[in-house]
């Protein structure tokens, strides 16, 4: 009788387990800092230096281009070519051939995606098999890790480290150890993901640093996934170098770009992957079996934008020169403010963001709802709730194994109107004075 019961229970258990509702591939990738923190920022009245989007408008010529597309013929509202609207891929090929120094085929070497995010997804799904290893340099844009996981891959982390604690004043002072990096490559390594300019740190990898990575990619026959969404945003004359332009790298690199970051229109969600046709064709297969087409009008507008930039490249009218110039000043303004209130900013060489060391600031984090969370998470939530200022905790950009070492940084987005930055400044000053 007991045996019967036990057998029945075992059968029920097996049935329950085998009828799990969700697919295993989404296990462990359900938490997301953006969902959590954008909700918080929305719930409280905040000055928002958290999520990375401009609070100023895109350049007027691109807004006009979008309106023109909307009011254009019927075809602007119907399906376009699945792998990318012909005017867009044509101008991207023309533009980037010049930048990369390689003839890019508009129809073979480019895939247009729903933001750079989807380009990343297509890349991982196209190339990573169960058990493949993917090297991720920390701190990393948080989506790389769950995307690798969802593709059944194993993330292998290698951190950028500040050359000497307390003296790492700019993102250039955060470097890779070449031995440590080399040790991460083995026969199971399928790809390495690099992000330059980097989110959240702002590091702009130098040619020598990219050469180090390139040498390892070639030696181990590894694909390089290069997330370059902030490619036009470099400061103090720092030069953005495309790893795909290094010898031997075009045939093994997928370079990812973003219309949203390029034209300050993050809500348009137009991105692209550029690379050798024999790799891009696999990304296309994923794309045609997942979303298939991207919105036509937005692609048309981005194409017009790039055409204009092609004509003005290197001149003062170029948005790609105007925007970093504008942002350089904002970067300085925020850094000065953070320093003046005892936070230690790491001056970014590029990108949208600045991280600051909060070690020297002592606050009483007595919010029971954040008990047990990492220090920077608790600090950021306290800052939102008590001071009305939204930022993002930097340990979210680290692997579980290393995040404990980086709980003393928070990330600020400075791509905001001066008035927003001034409001943030006021909050910080009041707080500092009140101490």
Partner 1 sequence: MITRNQASLVQLACNRKVTILLSFQFILCQGIMTSSRHTNSKRIEGLDKNVWVAFTSVAADPTIVNLGQGFPDIPPPAYVKEGLANAAAVDKLNQYTRGFGHPALVKALSQVYGKVYGQQIDPFKEILVTVGGYGSLFSAMQGLVEVGDEVIIIEPFFDCYVPMVRMAGAKPILIPLRVKTNIVSSADWVLDPAELASKFTSKTKAIIINTPNNPIGKIFTRDELQMIADLCIKHDTLCISDEVYEWLIYKGHQHIKIATLPGMWDRTITISSAGKTFSVTGWKLGWSIGPEHLIKHLQTVMQNTLYTCPTPLQEAVAQGLLRDYELMGQPDCYFSSLAVELEGKRDRMAAILQDVGMSPIIPEGGYFMCVDVTSLNQDLSHMGDDEPYDYKFVKWMIKEKKLAAIPVTAFCGDASKKQFEKYIRLCFIKKDSTLDAAEAILKNWNS
Residue placing its CB nearer to partner 1 in the complex, 170 or 299: 299
Residue placing its CB nearer to partner 1 in the complex, 75 or 177: 75
Rounded Cα distance, 410 and 353, in Å: 10
C-alpha closest to that of 80 among 255, 270, 263: 270
If one asks whether residue 183 binds partner 1 (CB under 8 A), the answer comes out as no
If one asks whether residue 105 binds partner 1 (CB under 8 A), the answer comes out as no
Which range touches partner 1 (CB under 8 A), out of 283-291, 326-334, 345-353, 354-362?
283-291
The one among 47, 76, 111, 241 contacting partner 1 by CB under 8 A: 76
Which DSSP string do the residues of 92-130 spell out, in sequence order?
HHHHHHHHHTS---TTTSEEEESHHHHHHHHHHHHHPPT
Q: What is the CA radius of gyration of the chain?
A: 23
Q: For the chain, how far is it from start to end, CA to CA, in angstroms?
A: 72
Which range touches partner 1 (CB under 8 A), out of 53-61, 342-350, 373-381, 392-400?
53-61
Per-residue interface string for the shown chain with partner 1, residues 352-381, x marking contact by CB under 8 A: ------------------------------
If one asks whether residue 110 binds partner 1 (CB under 8 A), the answer comes out as no
The one among 40, 97, 102, 146 contacting partner 1 by CB under 8 A: 146
At 368 the three-state DSSP class reads helix
The one among 6, 11, 13, 70 contacting partner 1 by CB under 8 A: 70
The one among 111, 190, 249, 375 contacting partner 1 by CB under 8 A: 190
User: Residue 135 pairs with which residues in a beta bridge?
Assistant: 156, 192
If one asks whether residue 125 binds partner 1 (CB under 8 A), the answer comes out as yes
- The Cβ of residue 96 has, within 10 Å, a number of other Cβ atoms equal to 22
Judged by CB under 8 A, the chain residues 15 through 44 that form the site for partner 1 are: 19-26, 29-30, 32, 34-35, 38
138 near 117, Cβ under 8 Å? Answer: no
If one asks whether residue 267 binds partner 1 (CB under 8 A), the answer comes out as yes
Rounded Cα distance, 271 and 291, in Å: 14
Give the ranges where 259-347 is alpha helix by DSSP (H).
259-262, 277-288, 296-312, 319-340
The one among 93, 128, 356, 392 contacting partner 1 by CB under 8 A: 128
Per-residue interface string for the shown chain with partner 1, residues 221-250, x marking contact by CB under 8 A: xxx---------------------------
Rounded Cα distance, 241 and 73, in Å: 39
# residues near partner 1 by CB under 8 A: 81
């Amino acid at each position: 009788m007991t045996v019967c019961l036990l057998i029945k229970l075992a059968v029920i258990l097996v049935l329950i387990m085998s009828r799990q509702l969700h697919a295993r591939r989404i296990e462990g990738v359900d938490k997301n800092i953006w969902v959590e923190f954008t909700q918080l920022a929305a719930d409280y009245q905040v000055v928002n230096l958290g999520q990375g989007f401009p609070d100023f408008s895109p350049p007027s010529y691109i807004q006009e281009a979008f309106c023109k597309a909307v009011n254009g013929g019927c075809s602007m509202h119907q399906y376009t070519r699945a792998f990318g609207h012909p005017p867009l891929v044509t101008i991207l090929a023309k533009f980037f051939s010049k930048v990369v120094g390689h003839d890019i085929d508009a129809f073979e070497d480019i895939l247009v995606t729903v933001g750079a995010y989807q380009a990343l997804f297509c890349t991982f799904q196209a190339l990573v098999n169960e058990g493949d290893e993917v090297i991720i340099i920390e701190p990393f844009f948080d989506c790389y890790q769950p995307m690798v996981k969802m593709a059944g891959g194993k993330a292998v982390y290698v951190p950028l480290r500040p050359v000497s604690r307390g003296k790492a004043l700019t993102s250039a002072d955060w470097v890779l150890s070449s031995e440590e990096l080399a040790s991460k490559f083995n026969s199971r390594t399928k790809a390495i993901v690099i992000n330059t300019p980097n989110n959240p740190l702002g590091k702009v990898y130098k040619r020598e640093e990219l050469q180090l990575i390139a040498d390892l990619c070639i030696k181990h026959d590894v694909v390089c996934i290069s997330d370059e969404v902030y490619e036009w945003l470099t400061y103090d004359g720092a030069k953005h170098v495309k790893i795909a332009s290094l010898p031997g790298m075009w045939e093994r690199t997928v370079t990812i770009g973003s219309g949203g970051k390029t034209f300050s229109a993050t809500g348009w969600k137009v991105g692209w992957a550029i690379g050798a046709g024999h790799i891009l064709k696999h990304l296309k297969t994923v794309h045609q079996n997942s979303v298939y087409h991207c919105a036509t009008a937005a692609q048309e507008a981005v194409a017009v934008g790039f055409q204009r930039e092609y004509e003005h490249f290197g001149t003062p009218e170029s948005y790609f020169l105007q925007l970093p110039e504008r942002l350089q000043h904002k970067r300085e303004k925020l850094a000065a403010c953070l320093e003046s209130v005892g936070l230690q900013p790491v001056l970014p060489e590029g990108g949208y963001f600045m991280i600051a060391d909060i070690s020297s600031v002592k606050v009483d984090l007595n919010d029971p709802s954040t008990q047990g969370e990492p220090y920077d998470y608790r600090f950021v939530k306290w800052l939102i709730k008590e001071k009305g200022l939204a930022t993002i905790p930097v340990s979210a950009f680290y692997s579980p194994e290393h995040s404990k070492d980086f709980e003393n940084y928070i990330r600020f987005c400075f791509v905001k109107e001066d008035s927003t930055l001034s409001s943030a400044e006021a909050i910080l000053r009041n707080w500092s004075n009140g101490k």
